[in-house]
């Protein structure tokens, strides 16, 4: 799919970060876009940015929780109606949050919320929208995993179980889809995206939408988390816009495996070179140097 002009794309988690960047860049490329998020204020900003980037395309914004199948079915039906279509060409299962780091200290609610958004959102998104991709003359599904989809760690001092488990599931599912699509819908391609540190609002969104359990946090914990969110986004070596550019070029190139960032490439090489040593109490810097 070299040209996105007059194609129809669905992007989950389009309110901020890579989702907003994908929506805006697709609109600029002449693609009609439907995007969902839980934050209607952020969706409004995305829609405004996309309208400026692509004034001649249709961009619709929808409130939906990707962990809720009924909400995604409702989103799909709105897409069919508002875009006057019976198919889509592109599906970006992008929504994600963090949280549920430890099986010992995190609440079950926090753990399952993170897993259900990061994995369930991809699985349910595929269940709901794959028939619409198959109904098009060409299609592409893009599932966002992470470097934590092949290295289940943030380093030796921070458990990272829920997010890592979800992202491993996304990676394996997408790889398995390649054969499933080849047999049942050969005109539809699949890609898994594995970003390193990207400048997004994932920490802020995790606090806002349930990955981090604010009820169990003190005022000081919240303050530190808010500071961490700002530092995480500001210190990233790759911006959300740059990440979206890499993803869309990966779609054009029909690459099934899309790594984003020098850190992602370095970590991938390090884990492949020494898988037995990947969890020997090493930080990212120590593992890749």
User: Which residues form the catalytic set?
Assistant: 163
Q: Residue 165 — left, alpha, or beta (φ > 0 → left; ψ -120 to 50 → alpha)? A: alpha
| Alpha-carbon gap, residue 26 to 89, rounded angstroms | 12
The class that CATH gives domain 8-278 is: alpha beta
* Per-residue pLDDT tens listing for the chain (289 residues): 999 999 999 999 999 999 999 999 999 999 999 999 999 999 999 999 999 999 999 999 999 999 999 999 999 999 999 999 999 999 999 999 998 999 999 999 999 999 999 999 999 999 999 999 999 999 999 999 999 999 999 988 899 999 999 999 999 999 999 999 999 999 999 999 999 988 655 555 555 556 565 555 666 556 555 555 555 555 677 999 999 999 999 999 999 999 999 999 999 999 999 999 999 987 878 888 7
The domain locations on the chain are 8-278
Match 């809720």 to its residue by tokens.
Answer: 68
Contact 166, 114 (CB under 8 A): yes
């Amino acid at each position: 799919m070299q040209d996105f002009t007059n194609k129809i794309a669905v992007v989950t988690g389009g309110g901020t970060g890579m989702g907003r960047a994908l929506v805006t860049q697709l609109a600029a490329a002449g693609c009609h876009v439907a995007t969902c998020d839980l934050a209607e204020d952020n969706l409004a900003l995305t829609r405004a940015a996309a309208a400026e980037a692509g004034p001649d395309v249709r961009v619709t914004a929808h409130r939906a929780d990707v962990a809720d199948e009924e909400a995604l079915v409702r989103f799909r039906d709105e897409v069919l109606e508002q875009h006057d279509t019976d198919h889509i060409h592109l599906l970006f299962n992008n929504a994600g949050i963090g949280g549920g780091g430890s099986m010992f200290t995190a609440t079950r609610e926090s753990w399952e919320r993170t897993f259900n958004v990061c994995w369930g959102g991809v699985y349910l998104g595929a269940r709901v929208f794959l028939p619409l991709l198959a109904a098009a003359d060409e299609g592409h599904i893009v599932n966002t995993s992470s470097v934590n989809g092949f290295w289940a760690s943030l380093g030796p001092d921070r458990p990272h179980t829920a997010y890592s488990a979800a992202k491993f599931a996304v990676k394996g599912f997408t790889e398995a889809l390649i054969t499933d699509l080849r047999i049942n819908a050969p005109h539809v391609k699949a890609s898994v995206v594995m970003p390193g540190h990207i400048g997004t609002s994932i920490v802020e969104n995790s606090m806002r939408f349930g990955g981090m359990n604010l009820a169990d946090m003190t005022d000081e914990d919240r303050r530190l988390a808010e500071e961490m969110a700002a530092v995480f986004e500001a210190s990233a070596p790759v911006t959300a816009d740059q990440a979206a550019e890499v993803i869309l070029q990966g779609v054009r190139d029909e690459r099934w495996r899309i790594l984003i960032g020098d850190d992602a490439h370095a970590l991938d090489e390090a884990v492949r070179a020494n898988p037995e040593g990947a969890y020997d109490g090493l930080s990212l810097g120590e593992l890749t140097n």
